[in-house]
Amino acid sequence: MLDDSGENESADADLVAALQRRDESVFTTVVRRYHGPLLRLALAHHPSRAVAEEIVQEAWLAVVQGIDRFERRSSFKTWLFRILVNRARTRAEREGRTVPFSSLVSEVESEDGPAVPADRFVPTDHPEWAQWAGHWMVAPKSWGESPERALIARETRALIEAAIAALPAGQRQVITLRDVEGWPSEEVCNVLQISETNQRVLLHRARSRVRAALERYFDAESR
Amino acid sequence: MTAMPADELTCKELVELVTAYVENALPPNDRRRFEEHLATCEFCTEYLRQIRLTIGALGNLPDESISLEALAELQNAFRSFRSQG
């Protein structure tokens, strides 16, 4: 009944109209659908769960108060998540934790180690293997016969959550929306207001780090 | 040992292109070099596999859901805004 992916414009218009005439069942459905992703995105901005939950509640209240003025220049979903991002950034600014808006770009521009530590590749000045410079010296080991099964274990999930929590804020926001929530890149760029290229840089670093965390786990398991 | 073709990627270069590759964002020539390297490098094939497993695992984390208290609070706000309007 409710297609609010934003891809179907008339469904999006119906949704907004229903909220504007205060259809509570539609409101409840929308809250249930988006609360989880909103909370994850809030957590990506603010590590404290209590604060993240407050930010989400504030965003919903802003939706209730602002829905009559919503002009559908974006999809409802983009509008909703932008409200959340703005709240989260304002809060971070007030608390002096990060410089908002420019922070994602400065994070992209700042140095961040390679996807895989350089010492795992043959160095150019290697005494015997110099012709293999840049090739694996300490190659990735297989994650076993059925890694998919290991990856859904509670322990592994906790490890992945911890690896995400340890990322710099921009990487955390991008990987949360792209991979945890499964959004297309265009929507992520829209909501976080970053370029496609910057988004890919942050995603690349984030995925590389989460893979590295899983690799440490699988290596320890096989020892 | 056979010499590498002049434009072959190294493994170190490949791991930095892996996101652009899975995002389908590599220019055709780089995509060809990427795939040529993969065809002969089991380690990079394993690396790519691990990146795909990582993406899959990230997408399988359990959903967060709203507490009944928080939902009730929002429904109240929605209702009271209606009665004002």
- Binary contact (A140, B46; C-beta < 8 A): yes
- What is chain A's mean pLDDT, rounded? 91
Show which of A62, A94, A126 is a domain's final residue: A94
3-class DSSP assignment, residue A180 = helix
B80 token code pair? 């009271």
Query: Do A146 and A42 share a structural domain?
Result: no
The tens digit of pLDDT for each residue in A61-96 reads 999 999 999 988 899 999 999 999 999 999 988 887
- Domain end, chosen from A40, A69, A94, is at A94
Helix axes of B68-84 and A49-66: crossing angle, nearest 10 degrees: 20
Same domain, A205 and A162: yes
Q: Count of residues for chain B? A: 85
A2 in a structural domain: no
Cα–Cα distance measured from residue B53 to residue A214, given in angstroms and rounded to the nearest whole number: 10
Distance CA A3, CA A10 (A): 9
pTM: 0.91
Q: How confident is the model at residue A145 (pLDDT cuts 50, 70, 90)?
A: confident
DSSP reduced 3-state for A42:
helix
* Chain CA centroid to CA A41, Å: 7
Q: How many CB atoms lie within 10 A of CB A20?
A: 13
Contacts of residue B58 in chain A, CB cutoff 8 Å?
160, 164, 175, 179-180, 210
Tell me the ipTM for this assembly: 0.90
In this structure, what CATH number is given to the domain that contains residue A33?
1.10.1740.10
Domain hosting A111: range is 103-222
Q: What is the C-alpha to C-alpha distance for residues A85 and A103, in angstroms, rounded to an integer?
A: 13
Residue A161 pLDDT > 70, yes or no? yes
CA A200 to chain centre: 12
CATH number at residue A107: 1.10.10.10
Are residues A125 and A212 both part of a single domain?
Answer: yes
Crossing angle of the two packed helices A76-94 and A24-45, in degrees rounded to 10: 40
Residue A160 included in any domain:
yes
Assess whether A73 and A115 both reside in one domain. Answer: no
| pLDDT of the residue at B35 | 97
Token pair in block for residue B36 = 């040529």
3-class secondary-structure state, position A121: strand
Q: Which two tokens stand for residue A48?
A: 């404290």
Residue A1 lies inside a defined structural domain of this protein? no
Q: Which residue has the higher pLDDT, A4 or A106?
A: A106
Q: How many domains does chain A have?
A: 2
Q: Which two tokens stand for residue A3?
A: 């297609």
Domain B1-61: top CATH class: mainly alpha
* Residue B29 distance to chain A (closest CA, Å): 19
Q: Does B71 touch chain A (CB under 8 A)?
A: yes
Answer yes or no: is A29 within a domain.
Answer: yes
pLDDT of residue A109: 81
State whether A151 and A84 are in the same domain.
no
| pLDDT at A113 (0 to 100) | 86
More confident residue, A76 or A97: A76
Judgement on whether residues A69 and A141 belong to the same structural domain of the protein: no
Looking at the structure, tell me whether residues A127 and A208 fall in a common domain. yes
* Shared domain check, A214 and A155: yes
Select from A73, A94, A115 the last residue of a domain.
A94
- Mean pLDDT across A102-126: 87
pLDDT at B1: 44
Task: Tell me whether residue A169 is in a domain.
Answer: yes
- Note whether B70 contacts A: Cβ–Cβ < 8 A: yes
